[in-house]
């Protein structure tokens, strides 16, 4: 693409100009408050809350448990912007819609993205309730947020993916986990579209191709963050055990309960990580 502004960049700049009328904060860190990370917002000294409804070009969240607010403020003394409520591919949003908020956060000033999700554990050493630091991922969504014309001002046509999750942040987080005596696994997240959970044959397949956990989010946001050279740290909460030869029917209320139980540990880990950034 030449020097002409892409439609995407025009949209980001329109949204940014609305945001700038509402808040002057230049956030250093962006946070996607996924499953199990909602309570982190209680630790944020909130400066401004904007409903997604009022933010130009933002999709509106369809999942009722997700509030749909963009929050700015300070966490552990650092300026942050947080998304309360995220968008999933299975809800029918396009990859561009799902990842637009990440583009905006970059233009607001972030250089680091913290992200979380709920996932099914396929590694037989993982237990329900464990947390897994994301070390790598496999995109099996069948789509990619970078498809379409590339705006070279946002990032390269063929972005490198040799380190999707920052080794520096993983090392810091493992050090914190050790100090705080929090059990953490480290592994590979596979993203699928959902919304159905997997069959036994699918879990067997996903495990055999190199996945430790499987979930329905996060990877689009991470791809776009890396496209714009944002450093990423991600955590999965293992909400159910997906061992094909001993598979129990999935219980969504139990999945949510498990995610909520892990919340204090994940909140502590993220808060301490922000302190060190």
Residues that bind ligand HPA (CB under 6 A): 118-120, 194, 197-198, 214-216, 239-240, 242, 255
Rounded to whole angstroms, how far apart are CA atoms 150 and 135?
Answer: 27
Rounded to whole angstroms, how far apart are CA atoms 145 and 94?
Answer: 8
Cβ-based nearer residue to ligand HPA, 120 or 155: 120
Cβ-based nearer residue to ligand HPA, 159 or 194: 194
Shortest reach from residue 115's CB to ligand HPA, in Å: 15
Cβ-based nearer residue to ligand HPA, 81 or 141: 141
Q: Which residues contact 181 (CB under 8 A, 6 or more apart)?
A: none
Cβ-based nearer residue to ligand HPA, 50 or 192: 192
Cβ-based nearer residue to ligand HPA, 8 or 242: 242
Single out the residue of 102, 43, 101, 41 nearest to residue 67, CA to CA. Answer: 41
Cβ-based nearer residue to ligand HPA, 51 or 196: 196
Shortest reach from residue 242's CB to ligand HPA, in Å: 5
Rounded to whole angstroms, how far apart are CA atoms 213 and 181?
Answer: 22
Rounded to whole angstroms, how far apart are CA atoms 38 and 83?
Answer: 10
Single out the residue of 270, 241, 214, 206 nearest to residue 32, CA to CA. Answer: 270
> Residue 20: helix, strand or coil by DSSP?
helix
Rounded to whole angstroms, how far apart are CA atoms 150 and 28?
Answer: 25
Bond into 63 cis (ω within 30): no
Shortest reach from residue 122's CB to ligand HPA, in Å: 8
Shortest reach from residue 198's CB to ligand HPA, in Å: 5
Shortest reach from residue 213's CB to ligand HPA, in Å: 8
Q: Which two tokens stand for residue 164?
A: 């999707």
H/E segment holding residue 58: none
Shortest reach from residue 208's CB to ligand HPA, in Å: 16
Residue 244, Ramachandran bin (φ over 0: left; ψ between -120 and 50: alpha; else beta): alpha
DSSP assignment letter at 270: H
Shortest reach from residue 200's CB to ligand HPA, in Å: 11
Q: In the bound complex, which residue of the shown chain has the CB atom lying closest to ligand HPA?
A: 120
Rounded to whole angstroms, how far apart are CA atoms 194 and 92?
Answer: 11
Cβ-based nearer residue to ligand HPA, 95 or 154: 95
């Amino acid at each position: 693409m030449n020097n002409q502004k892409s439609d995407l960049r025009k949209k980001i700049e329109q949204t940014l100009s609305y945001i700038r009328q509402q808040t002057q904060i230049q956030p250093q860190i962006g946070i996607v408050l996924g499953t199990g990370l909602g309570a982190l917002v209680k630790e944020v000294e909130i400066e401004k809350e904007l409903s997604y409804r009022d933010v130009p070009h933002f999709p509106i969240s369809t999942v009722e448990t997700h509030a749909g607010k963009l929050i700015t403020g300070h966490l552990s003394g650092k300026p942050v912007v947080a998304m309360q409520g995220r968008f999933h591919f299975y809800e029918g949003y396009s990859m561009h819609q799902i990842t637009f908020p990440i583009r905006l956060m970059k233009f607001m000033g972030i250089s680091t993205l913290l992200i979380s999700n709920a996932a099914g554990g396929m590694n037989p050493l993982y237990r329900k309730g464990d947390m897994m630091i994301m070390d790598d991922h496999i995109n099996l969504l069948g789509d990619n947020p970078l498809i379409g014309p590339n705006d070279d001002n946002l990032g390269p046509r063929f972005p490198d993916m040799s380190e999707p999750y920052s080794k520096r942040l993983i090392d810091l987080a493992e050090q914190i986990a050790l100090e705080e005596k929090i059990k953490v696994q480290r592994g590979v997240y596979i993203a699928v579209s959902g919304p159905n959970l997997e069959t036994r044959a699918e879990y067997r397949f996903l495990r055999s191709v190199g996945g430790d956990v499987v979930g329905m989010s996060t990877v689009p946001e991470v791809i776009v963050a890396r496209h714009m050279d944002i450093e990423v740290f991600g955590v999965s909460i293992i909400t159910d055990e997906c061992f094909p030869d001993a598979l129990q029917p999935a219980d969504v209320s139990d999945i949510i309960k498990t995610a909520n139980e892990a919340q204090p540990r994940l909140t502590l880990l993220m808060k301490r990580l922000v302190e060190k950034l």
